[in-house]
Amino acid sequence: MNSSNNLNSGQKALSMQLLVLAIVIIFVAFVGLFVQKYSSSNSGFKDYQRSTKLSKDVNSVHANLFKIKGMVAASQDKQEITKLSDQQVAIIDESVNLVKKALDSSISVEQKKYYQAIMDNLIEYQKSALQVIRLAPMGTGNAYLSSANEKLDAINQLLAQLLDYESNLVEKGSTSLTFYIVIIALIILLVLCVILIPSFVKKMIAGNVVEPLQETSSVLREFAVGKYNKSLTWDADDAIGELVQSVNSLRSKMSSTGGSTQKAPAPEAAPAHKAPTTETAPAAADKKDTSLSDMIKKTSDHMKDGDKLVTSSKKAIDKLQDI
């Protein structure tokens, strides 16, 4: 009997296996949530942020065009006007580069269509805005400003449609693909748990309970037919250990009882045979003496009878002679 497969070790092994399954389930759920967050924040949400920034920058530039014209009309400091104008030129260039990067990135085909249309209008807007900035100190450039208004309206309309599309893309990307992948993975793990947990329990019971009980039962069957040679070994302090101790105690008692019953007749037989010799010896002597006396008496009686017989026979002979 292998005491290493005791109930305590079996329970620990089963607990460890269940813990591993729980850790795997938690890990898959955590990875799914992380992927969901990463996909929503690093792809769709970043695209949405980029489009929002582009819309904010272009509208800010257009508002500053009117501010520059007002500053010129108010004869404000030319350095301030030049500084503000340079800032708008830099923002427009940055917006154009932002759209170019978006077109070069791994965005969807629909997004590329929007960005391409925005790029075409933005280039025209850039040309008109630069003319407004260049002609503003001279008090002219209103025609370019109206053209810039038209291009800005087109850009804002395209950006509004793009933002709608990207917001829907973020929601779908975060709730459809990743969500369903995580759900499917968790369902698979739950099915595995339903299959594996009973097998783990069955294995633990078979190795740590059923096999020791079967071996104990076989030993008890040997005890029933009078064979007490086999003992059980179980070092673990559990219910099986208590059963093994009880069986071993029963073996020792039964083996000692069986030995005494086999040896008991031998010492009792000796006095049983000796007793008659010691007790019947005087009786035999008495009987011998009695028989001898009886024989003497009988002999004497026979002798008397013989004498009588001899006497009577003599008398008979004498009588016959007289005749």
Can you give the CATH number for the domain in which 232 is found?
1.10.8
Q: How far apart are CA 158 and CA 126, in angstroms?
A: 16
Mean pLDDT of 281-285: 44
278 vs 186, residue with greater confidence:
186
Residues 299 and 162 in one domain: no
Residues 85 and 147 in one domain: yes
Residues 78 and 194 in one domain: yes
Torsion over CA: 16, 22, 27, 30 (sign): negative
Q: Which of 12-16, 123-127, 218-222 has the highest mean pLDDT?
A: 123-127
Band (pLDDT 50/70/90 cuts) for residue 317 is: very low
Burial 250-285, CB ≥16 within 10 A → b, else e: ebeeeeeeeeeeeeeeeeeeeeeeeeeeeeeeeeee
Q: How far is CA 312 from CA 187, 299, 308, in A?
A: 139, 19, 6
Residue-level pLDDT at 152: 94
305 lies in which domain range? 275-322
Token code pair at residue 277 = 């010799």
Residues 168 and 249 in one domain: no
- 11 domain residue, yes or no: yes
- 268 domain residue, yes or no: no
Those residues whose C-beta lies under 8 Å from the C-beta of residue 9, and which sit 6 or more positions away, are 208, 236
Those residues whose C-beta lies under 8 Å from the C-beta of residue 110, and which sit 6 or more positions away, are 165
Mean pLDDT of 45-58: 90
- 107 domain residue, yes or no: yes
- 256 domain residue, yes or no: yes
Q: How far apart are CA 271 and CA 165, in angstroms?
A: 117
Percent of the chain surpassing pLDDT 90: 29
Q: How far apart are CA 211 and CA 240, in angstroms?
A: 11
Band (pLDDT 50/70/90 cuts) for residue 28 is: confident
Residues 195 and 99 in one domain: yes
Q: How far apart are CA 27 and CA 229, in angstroms?
A: 55
Residue-level pLDDT at 177: 66
Residue in the structure block whose two tokens are 């294995």? 203
Residues 167 and 22 in one domain: yes
Those residues whose C-beta lies under 8 Å from the C-beta of residue 40, and which sit 6 or more positions away, are 170, 173, 174
Residues 306 and 234 in one domain: no
The least confident of 57-66, 118-127, 266-275 is: 266-275
Residues 29 and 139 in one domain: yes
Residues 56 and 192 in one domain: yes
Q: Is the pLDDT of residue 261 over 90?
A: no
Q: How far apart are CA 131 and CA 266, in angstroms?
A: 136
Q: Which of 118-132, 187-201, 218-232 has the highest mean pLDDT?
A: 118-132
Residues 282 and 303 in one domain: yes
Pair 111, 44: CB distance under 8 Å? no
CATH of the domain at 156: 1.20.120.30
Do you know the residue count of the chain? 323
Residues 160 and 121 in one domain: yes
- 270 domain residue, yes or no: no
Domain count within the chain: 3
Band (pLDDT 50/70/90 cuts) for residue 86 is: very high
Residues 249 and 176 in one domain: no
Residue-level pLDDT at 228: 78
